Structure 1
Amino acid sequence: METLFNRLYSSYHQNVYQFLYYMVKDRVQAEDLSQEVYIRVLKSYDKFEGRSSEKTWILSIARHVAIDWLRKQSTVKKRVMDSFDWDRRQIKDAAPLPEEIAVRGEQVQWIYNALHACSNDQRAVIVLRYIEQLSIAETSEALGWTESKVKTTQHRALKAIKHHLSEQGQMLNEAAK
């Protein structure tokens, strides 16, 4: 007999992990946060009323877990701001592992980097809409927002990504000269 955890894990783990990975930009941290999501899901499953799909409900919990983690990281960053070498930060490259680069095309890599030029809310919308392929309504449910807010945030995110990609293209053109 399949347990609730096994069913939820087999059905949604890839979606949860992928969402968290795009939000926190770290494989190990995304796996740790995935565990936190399932702990919260199992603790509150009896309160799930079915007004949304299980998937959007679980992704909503994943979003909250990611936001909590990002807030903690922001607090830690504020403590070390005075000793941070901003010039090195601009030089430092947080690119994915070589095998990931090989799997993704160069254009996909640019988009991945551009995604991190977005705010956390914008990134969440882009990941849910274009990577998880949720509809506007499902994204609205997962984020607890109105459909109008999802559309507006999506529009702003796409604009930010386009701007970032445009800047990257200009930098490449200048470097090629």
Structure 2
Amino acid sequence: MESAFQRIYERYHQDIFQFLYYMVKNREQAEDLVQEVYIRVLKSYEKFEGRSSEKTWLFSIARHVAIDWFRKQKTLRQRIIEKFDWERQQFEDETPLPEEIALQNEDVQLMYRSLDTCTVDQRAVIILRYLQELSISETAEALGWTESKVKTTQHRALKQLQKEMNDSRVEKEGFSHEKV
């Protein structure tokens, strides 16, 4: 098992980290979640039957870890929100983007920020399809969905991203949607 685990770690660590980073938008949190993925891998590797590729199996675990984290955050936010001082702080994490993102052109940065307007499922599909370059069938396998659901979610996510990016450009350029 140790050599299999080492091989998995060396081969997929960066992909898993990147997936989780784009999901939670926080480097330290993504690192913690990667550790949780590996804990789950260690606990369940013997049960892995090889019906899917290791990569899609790992992304499936990573997605579940991210969803669990989002659920915990939602519960925590519900408890904190009543006591939050809106005048002195902002609720969202203002962690700077990684160096790689900061160096990207404006459209890539805009698309990265626009991912926040997508649902968790839409974000997962965009990350797996376009950043991890998985096929539709591999994405479906990783998410435990049908290919049809992946295609529909991808279509809706791209539509949402396009709308958000257009709205941001219009806002930046000082135009309005209203007809004169």
Normalised by the length of structure 1, the TM-score is: 0.90
Equivalenced residue count is 173
Letter in 2 for 1:125: V
Deviations 1:101-146 (A, max 9, x none): 5421111100000111100000000000000000000000000001
Corresponding residue for 1:81? 81
Corresponding residue for 2:117? 117
- Of Structure 1 and Structure 2, the greater helix share is in 1
Alignment of 1:135-146 (within 5 A): 135-146=135-146
**SS of structure 1 residue aligned to 2:174:** helix
Any conservation in 1 of the 2:125–2:154 contact (CA below 8 Å)?
Answer: yes
Deviations 1:14-59 (A, max 9, x none): 1100000011110011111101101101111111111110000011
Corresponding residue for 1:133? 133
Q: Tell me the distance in 2 between the aligned counterparts of 1:69 and 1:5.
A: 24
Corresponding residue for 1:12? 12
Q: Over the residues paired in the alignment, what is the CA RMSD in angstroms?
A: 2.2
1:43 aligns with 2:46: no
1:31 aligns with 2:31: yes
Any conservation in 1 of the 2:60–2:143 contact (CA below 8 Å)?
Answer: yes
Taking a change above 3 Å as real, the CA distance of residues 155 and 88 of structure 1, as seen in their structure-2 partners, is: farther
Any conservation in 1 of the 2:102–2:109 contact (CA below 8 Å)?
Answer: no
> Can you give the 5+ residue segments of structure 1 that lack an aligned partner in the other structure?
none
Taking a change above 3 Å as real, the CA distance of residues 79 and 172 of structure 1, as seen in their structure-2 partners, is: same
Taking a change above 3 Å as real, the CA distance of residues 125 and 86 of structure 1, as seen in their structure-2 partners, is: farther
Deviates more, 1:149-158 or 1:96-105: 96-105
Taking a change above 3 Å as real, the CA distance of residues 49 and 100 of structure 1, as seen in their structure-2 partners, is: same
**SS of structure 2 residue aligned to 1:116:** helix
Q: Tell me the distance in 2 between the aligned counterparts of 1:100 and 1:129.
A: 19
**SS of structure 2 residue aligned to 1:145:** coil
State the 1:89 CA deviation.
Answer: 4.5
Normalised by the length of structure 2, the TM-score is: 0.88
Q: Tell me the distance in 2 between the aligned counterparts of 1:147 and 1:72.
A: 29
> Can you give the 5+ residue segments of structure 2 that lack an aligned partner in the other structure?
176-180
